[in-house]
Structures are given as C-alpha cells and as structure tokens.
C-alpha cells in the first residue's frame, strides 16, 4: 500500500478569506516503510504574509517572492500524489487548502476519504491527552529538536514516525524479504505484515507490575484475571 504523509504551511486559517498554501511537503511510505522519496515545494501565495503566520513557519514575502505559484507546480504535485492514501495530522485543515488551490486552477478536488487523520486516531487512543505533533513526539520519544519552526517537509518526516507509533510501532521486514511486493496476496489486497522476531521491550515498570499484582490479589480467588493468567 502506497501512502503519502503530507503537511502544508499557509498564510492563515481559511482559504475562503483569501489565505493560500506557501509550502507542501510529502513523504512516501510503501507498506509502512519510508522509501526515501519525498516531494517538497515552496509556493508564492501571490499575497502578503501576515505576521502571525510568519511567526509560525518563518516564510516571509521576500523569500517567497521568486517561488512558483501553485498553477506552476500543480502537475508535479498531482503526478507525485498518484492514487496514494494521504496521512495528515488534522486532515480537515490541509485538505480544505489543497482543494481550494485545486479549484482555483480548475482541477478536480480530492475526496476527503483519501485522507487518514492521525489527529483523530491520537485522540481516540489517548482521550483527554494532548494530541499535537509535539505532544506525540514527547509521548513516543521521537526527536523533534530540529523543529524550531513549522516546516512542511520536516513535519511530514516527523509525522511519519508518529504515524507508525500510533499503529502500534509495527514495522515491516525492512525490504529484506525475497518476495516481491504484490506477491503472496490476492490482487487489491495488502500482504500481511510479518511479526517481529524480537518483541519490543515492555513499557510497564516494575512498580506498575507490582501494583497490578496487588490489585489482582485483592479481587479474590475467582477473579477472571486469575483464570486468564492460569490459562
């Protein structure tokens, strides 16, 4: 399965208010493995950069003045996009900007169903906890020290790591398999991911293990936990 982890930087929050995309970054994954292929483009928004947006990403009018406009890069963008699924953190934001830009150059918009929202997944997995990209990096011990400002390609690379952790830290076989992609499964289906030969170390501390054991002991002899452990 081909996926593209995508991020954009913009001049503001609403394309309906005249705000535009100024940077697009994408990282390609095939069967959950980074391929090394990326797409990165700065874009001239054909308008001024608000101070609030500049403070987020640091992309100013002078830097963007000689960059191509969206109409000049749309073909390269769509070619790289292909039919891949998009992985986006807060997909509603990026998709509305991408589709606005496509509409302005009279190209078909992308169906929202093509986007997988990692923000929604993070909120489901960790209800009540912060779900920003920085917060998830802290949770999964992912190094984001280079992220002094937002940047579309850097954020896509970081999000790719976060995405894999949100899926349970699963990794395929690092392309060491001798079976070509697409074999071993029926057409239109993804091949099953192999299990890790060496399981990941548990994150449960000894103190937590002891507290759980004490709790189970307090439930009595007929608790389902005792039956489960005996099985």
Q: How far is CA 19 from CA 45, 67, 108, 114, 134, in A?
A: 8, 17, 20, 23, 25
Q: What is the mean pLDDT of residues 160-177?
A: 72
Percent of the chain with pLDDT over 70: 80
What does the DSSP assignment read for 177-224?
A: -SSPTTTTS-TTSPPPPPPPSSPPPP---HHHHHHHHHHHHTT-TT-H
Q: Which pLDDT band holds residue 214 (cuts at 50, 70, 90)?
A: confident
Dihedral Cα 75, 79, 82, 84, nearest 10 deg = -100
Tell me which residues are annotated as active site.
150
- pTM tops 0.75: no
- Asked whether residue 133 carries a pLDDT value surpassing 70, the answer given is yes
pLDDT at position 188: 39
Instruction: Please report where in the chains the tokens 């400002």 appear, as a residue.
Output: 149
* Token pair of 33 as six digits: 């493995």
Q: What domains can be seen in the chain, in order of their start residue?
A: 2-166 (3.30.420.10), 201-231 (no CATH)
Burial (0-12, 13-18, 19+ Cβ within 10 Å), 29:
buried
Cα–Cα distance for residue pair 180/193, rounded to 1 Å: 14
> How is residue 132 annotated by DSSP?
S
Q: Which pLDDT band holds residue 144 (cuts at 50, 70, 90)?
A: confident
pLDDT at position 88: 98
pLDDT at position 31: 96
- Asked whether residue 134 carries a pLDDT value surpassing 70, the answer given is yes
pLDDT at position 219: 72
pLDDT at position 17: 97
pLDDT at position 39: 98
pLDDT at position 171: 54
Q: List, for residues 75-106, the tens digit of each pLDDT value.
A: 999 999 999 999 999 999 999 999 999 999 99
Q: List, for residues 20-44, the tens digit of each pLDDT value.
A: 999 999 999 999 999 999 999 999 9
Instruction: Give the residue, 220 or 126, on which the prediction is more confident.
Output: 126
Q: What are the backbone dihedrals phi and psi of residue 228, each rounded to the nearest 5 degrees, phi first? A: -65, -45
Q: Which pLDDT band holds residue 195 (cuts at 50, 70, 90)?
A: low
């Amino acid at each position: 399965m081909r996926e593209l982890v995508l991020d954009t930087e913009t001049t503001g929050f609403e394309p309906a208010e005249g705000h535009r995309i100024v940077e697009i970054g994408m990282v390609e994954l095939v069967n959950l493995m980074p391929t090394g292929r990326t797409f990165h483009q700065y874009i001239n928004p054909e308008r001024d950069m608000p101070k609030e947006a500049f403070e987020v990403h640091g992309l100013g009018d002078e830097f963007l003045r000689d960059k191509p406009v969206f109409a000049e890069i749309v073909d390269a963008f769509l070619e790289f996009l292909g039919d891949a699924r998009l992985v986006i953190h807060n997909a509603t934001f990026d998709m509305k900007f991408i589709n606005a830009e496509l509409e302005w150059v009279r190209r078909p918009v992308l169906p929202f169903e093509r986007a997988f929202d990692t923000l929604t997944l993070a909120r489901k997995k960790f209800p009540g906890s912060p779900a920003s990209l920085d917060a998830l990096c802290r949770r999964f011990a992912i190094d984001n020290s280079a992220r002094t400002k937002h940047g579309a390609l850097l954020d896509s690379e970081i999000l790719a790591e976060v995405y894999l952790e949100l899926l349970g830290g699963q990794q395929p076989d690092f392309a060491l398999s001798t079976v070509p992609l697409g074999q071993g499964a029926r057409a239109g289906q993804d091949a099953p991911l192999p299990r890790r030969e060496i399981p990941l170390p548990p994150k449960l501390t000894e103190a937590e293990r002891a507290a759980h054991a004490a709790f189970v002991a307090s439930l009595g002899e007929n608790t389902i936990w005792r039956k489960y452990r005996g099985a």
